[in-house]
Amino acid sequence: MTIEELQEIGKIEKEKQGGFRHRIHVCVAAGCLSSQSGLVKEALEKEVARRGLESWALVKGVGCLGLCTAGPMVAIEPDGSLYQGVKVSDASDILEALGGAPVYRLDCSSHLPFFTRQKKIVLENSGRIDPESIEDYVAERGYEGLYTALRTTTPTGVVDHVTKSGLRGRGGAGFPTGLKWTAVSKAKSNVKFVICNADEGDPGAFMDRSVLESDPHRVLEGMAIAGFAVGANYGFIYVRAEYPLAVKRIRTAIAKAERLGVLGRNIFNTTFNFDVSVRLGAGAFVCGEETALIASIEGRRGSPRPRPPFPSELGLWGYPTLINNVETFANVPPIIRKGGAWFSSMGTEKSKGTKVFALAGRVNNTGLIEAPMGTTLREIVFDIGGGIKDGRKFKAILTGGPSGGCIPAKFLDMSMDYESLAQVGAIMGSGGIIVMDETSCMVDMAKFFIEFCMSESCGKCVPCRVGTVQIYNLMKRITEGNAKPDDIKLLEELCDLVKSTSLCGLGQTAPNPVLSTMHYFMDEYRAHIDYKICPAGTCQMRPAEEST
Amino acid sequence: MRYPAFLQKIADRADVQPVRVLTFTIDGRMVSAREDETILSVARENGISIPTLCHLDGLSERGACRLCIVEIKGSAKLSPSCVTLPRQDMEVITNSERVMDYRRKILELLFTERNHICSVCVSNGHCDLQALTAELGMTHVHYDYLHTKQVVDASHERFSVDHNRCVLCQRCVRVCDEIEGAHTWDVMGRGHLSKVITDLNQPWGESITCTGCGKCVQVCPTGALSEKGKSVAEMTKKRQFLPYLKLMRGAEIT
């Protein structure tokens, strides 16, 4: 295929859709689907047919529109109206209002700061294209990045672009992507692999799921570009089985990409071949750790092994392997299309580009957002997030899920980037932000996450297997009002032990929520231990009978 | 190519040895090592003792018990010496206060996990776990005991397994897979709920893959696996066979 042919496909698709005077976009990502957006779409289609408007209005299923809390969402293009909480019975009113004033009772202003303050790169197509149509993706200049990489640059050139862009791994640790790609491209081997880590497991994080559900081709294109850059001809997407819709969409995308010839043999008439297949995870959090993930793909028990050697040297079946997160791959096509300098012009000095955050917890606008690195926490929670629910007082946020830490209110004006977060004892993580208000108990929250780590520990190394149980028991004792004054010391000691001696990232970071809440909210721990009071009123204090 | 280009020509000669040799220091002592030897094996060769539990000469390494952690100068992280290779001029510290303290605490955690009451154990006096307490100077446990309920499986005609004594070192799993080639043992479950099982969690006596060789019993560090008919302190383990088996199977085990 040539670039002209590719652009022709996009042009035809654009003209086809442009022929409709109104395009009704119905969100069909998991959040809205679970509140019956599938039925809403059917109802709209039926209503269009009943009114005989088939050549006039197009009903299209699209990916996530972002404001998941207000689903099902419907957007009307090019009118620009946006509806929230749409029900089946609203179909006829929506069609009635086409071209005129929007239906007032469903209106959700698209001029809200939630929409205007965001900057979208990874999510640029989410909510605009049909995730099951490859033509729709091509119409948005899809696979042009892959063409540029294959036909106008060399593998080294592609790696240079990524290095120059300053992109860092979006899976959590923020390792420079260019450096990782260089390492794999330098490894000497005839066989190499590219793995996309879609085993998203942090409680409260759902950006990888949403990207796969809304724009799967973007990830495939990113993987193919990576394969070309490092010299790999085979890619795996490791998705957790709890994401059935993402699995279905990515499988559809692979089949369509193969049919179009942008995956498979001799892509764009070059000698480059690239195939992708999907592997399902069985719901183990630890399989997000790269060596455990590799073991799981190989068909072994998903437990990590000591590093080094790193997967870039000794990876899948022993071959050099590149592992990146979904969001990292999704950033690659625009970087190649627009150049590394364009990407590095956004963000802070050391954290470039944008980051997708999943806003959850006690915030008004829960959902998926994308903002440039360096946006302050206040802007994210109060402008984009719309403030705290029911006018309560902001207390803290937790980033990075079970491996992260909390950030108290005094750091509200902190810039969200890898370095600043590390400075206050939190991590970027995969981008889940859980907002807590005055009614959330920090001790209880920390207990929840250590319980999560305890049950997700693989059981291989002793500190993580037994240490997390000990920490959990102590936390349980504190929240039940049975703790002894010495327990704080014991807790600190155990946290330090687990952090310093565990084998993999899961254990090494498992005590973080406990440590950071102890650092910023010691008064709450003290209240639980010394006065048997939970200041937030969350914990049910049941002091046991004093034993002698 | 392991050498800079100007030396590689000489190194490519067939009669030149293929593995590099380097020198580094352990606890301030200069030692020499082949580049493919672990810090642990070099230390033991030089009479420097590092405690281990999951490691056993002749079996593959897991790096999981974390008792063999050492400090490496210039690195904030502690490294398991059983899987870490030395580098030229590396400075390894095996007995710093920090490391010794962590080791004792890890051992304490092991004692709290299941049921390790030496006075009623078949392996009393011949137990690796017990020996470690003496070696590390662990006098008492200052964490709470977890008292998990575990089962005893005595369905095999010659051996029995008491999960209360198991420390999940997986020596049995590895010896069965790597030396005997039967892979009867494996692990099921996660975290503190994980457990070694025979075949697909059948009683040991009903296992169709078990050859009854007893190697698992001999390598078990504690009284978890024992021969039937042995009473308290009577179970001594015979491990002399392992180095020979390792030699025979040689290159396959890394």
Q: Among the three residues A325, A344, A363, which one is the final residue of a domain in this structure?
A: A344
Model pTM score: 0.93
Average pLDDT (A231-240) is: 96
Is residue A261 one of the residues assigned to a domain? yes
Are B27 and B139 in the same domain?
Answer: no
CB contact under 8 A, A462 and B106: yes
Are A283 and A328 in the same domain?
Answer: yes
Distance from the Cα of B192 to chain A's closest Cα (Å) equals 5
Calpha distance A278→A389 (Å, rounded): 39
**A103-117, B81-95, B195-209: range with lowest mean pLDDT:** A103-117
pLDDT band at B7 (very low <50, low <70, confident <90, very high): confident
Residue B253 has pLDDT above 70, yes or no: no
Are A452 and A307 in the same domain?
Answer: no
Write down the pLDDT at residue B248: 67
Is residue B139 one of the residues assigned to a domain? yes
Calpha distance A511→A449 (Å, rounded): 9
Percentages helix, strand, coil for chain A (3-state, rounded to 5) are 45, 15, 35
Are B122 and B30 in the same domain?
Answer: no
Q: How many residues does chain A have?
A: 548
A502 touching B (Cβ < 8 Å): yes
Are B175 and B59 in the same domain?
Answer: no
Are B125 and B29 in the same domain?
Answer: no
Q: Among the three residues B57, B77, B95, which one is the final residue of a domain in this structure?
A: B95
Write down the pLDDT at residue A116: 85
Is residue A376 one of the residues assigned to a domain? yes
Q: What does the CA dihedral A10, A16, A21, A24 come to, rounded to 10 degrees? A: -70
Write down the pLDDT at residue B225: 96
Q: What is the CATH number of the domain that holds A369?
A: 3.10.20.600
Residue A545 has pLDDT above 90, yes or no: no
Are B190 and B215 in the same domain?
Answer: yes
Calpha distance A355→A341 (Å, rounded): 17
Are A374 and A418 in the same domain?
Answer: yes
For B33, left (φ over 0), alpha (ψ -120 to 50), or beta? Answer: beta
Mutate to test the interface with A, among B77, B90, B100, B105 (most CBs of A within 10 A): B105
Is residue A496 one of the residues assigned to a domain? yes
Which is more confident, A408 or A425?
A408
Chain A residues touching B64 at Cβ < 8 A:
460-462, 503
- Model pLDDT for residues B182-241, shown as the tens digit of each residue: 999 999 999 999 999 999 999 999 999 999 999 999 999 999 999 999 999 999 998 877
Average pLDDT (A491-497) is: 97
* CA angle, residues A502, A167, A159, in degrees to nearest 5: 105
Q: What is the CATH number of the domain that holds B44?
A: 3.10.20.740
Are B150 and B215 in the same domain?
Answer: yes
Are A324 and A375 in the same domain?
Answer: no
Calpha distance A292→A286 (Å, rounded): 7
Paired tokens of B174: 């590895």
Is residue A545 one of the residues assigned to a domain? no
Of A284, A462, A469, the CB nearest to B66: A462
Are B172 and B145 in the same domain?
Answer: yes
Contact indicator for A21, A99 with CB cutoff of 8 Å: yes
A7 Cβ partners below 8 Å, 6+ apart?
none
Q: What does the CA dihedral A494, A495, A496, A501 come to, rounded to 10 degrees? A: 80
Q: Among the three residues A111, A131, A155, which one is the final residue of a domain in this structure?
A: A111
Are B151 and B64 in the same domain?
Answer: no
Are A304 and A377 in the same domain?
Answer: no
Are A298 and A446 in the same domain?
Answer: no
Query: Which stretches does DSSP call E strand in chain B?
Result: 21-26, 29-34, 69-72, 78-80, 91-93, 152-153, 159-162, 185-188, 195-198, 225-227
CB contact under 8 A, A497 and B102: yes
Average pLDDT (A334-360) is: 94
Chain-centre distance of CA B37, in angstroms? 16
Residue B252 has pLDDT above 80, yes or no: no
Write down the pLDDT at residue B218: 94
User: How many CA atoms within 13 Å lie on the side-chain side of A141?
Assistant: 9
Are A232 and A290 in the same domain?
Answer: yes
Q: What is the CATH number of the domain that holds B142?
A: 3.30.70.20
**φ, ψ at A324 (rounded to 5°):** -135, 160
Are B75 and B105 in the same domain?
Answer: no
Are B116 and B240 in the same domain?
Answer: yes
Beta bridge partners of A127: none
Q: Among the three residues A111, A134, A150, which one is the final residue of a domain in this structure?
A: A111
Is residue A154 one of the residues assigned to a domain? yes
pLDDT band at A223 (very low <50, low <70, confident <90, very high): very high
Instruction: Name the residue of chain A whose CA is nearest to B114's CA.
Output: A466
Are A157 and A58 in the same domain?
Answer: no
- Structural domain including B61 reads 19-95
Residue B58 has pLDDT above 90, yes or no: no
A484 touching B (Cβ < 8 Å): no
Is residue B14 one of the residues assigned to a domain? no
Average pLDDT (A146-163) is: 96
Is residue B200 one of the residues assigned to a domain? yes
Q: Among the three residues B95, B125, B145, which one is the final residue of a domain in this structure?
A: B95
Are B170 and B189 in the same domain?
Answer: yes
SS (H, E, C) A391-441: HCCEEEEEECHHHCEEEEHHHCCCECCHHHHHHCCCCCCCCEEEEEECCCC
Question: How many domains is chain A built from?
Answer: 4
Are A426 and A288 in the same domain?
Answer: no
Write down the pLDDT at residue A137: 96
Is residue B174 one of the residues assigned to a domain? yes
Distance from the Cα of A290 to chain B's closest Cα (Å) equals 17
Write down the pLDDT at residue B114: 94
Is residue B155 one of the residues assigned to a domain? yes
Question: How many domains is chain B built from?
Answer: 2
- Structural domain including A51 reads 17-111
Concatenated DSSP letters of B166-190: -----HHHHIIIIII----EEEESS
Is residue B12 one of the residues assigned to a domain? no
Are A55 and A96 in the same domain?
Answer: yes
Write down the pLDDT at residue B11: 72
Is residue A69 one of the residues assigned to a domain? yes
Are A393 and A504 in the same domain?
Answer: no
Calpha distance A342→A160 (Å, rounded): 14
Q: What is the CATH number of the domain that holds A100?
A: 3.40.30.10
What ipTM does the predicted assembly reach? 0.93
Beta bridge partners of B162: B152
Q: Which residue, among A436, A471, A441, A440, has the nearest Cα to A453 in the 3D structure?
A: A471
Is residue A494 one of the residues assigned to a domain? yes
What is the enclosing helix (H) or strand (E) of A444?
A: helix A442-456
Average pLDDT (A197-202) is: 92
Are A312 and A387 in the same domain?
Answer: no
Is residue B3 one of the residues assigned to a domain? no
Average pLDDT (A429-439) is: 92
Instruction: Name the residue of chain B whose CA is nearest to A301's CA.
Output: B187
Chain B residues touching A284 at Cβ < 8 A:
190
Is residue B253 one of the residues assigned to a domain? no
Are B114 and B206 in the same domain?
Answer: yes
Average pLDDT taken over every residue of chain A: 93
Write down the pLDDT at residue B254: 45
Residue B14 has pLDDT above 80, yes or no: no
Instruction: Name the residue of chain A whose CA is nearest to B143's CA.
Output: A470
Around Cβ A503, how many Cβ atoms within 10 Å? Answer: 28
Chain-centre distance of CA B9, in angstroms? 40
CB contact under 8 A, A466 and B187: no
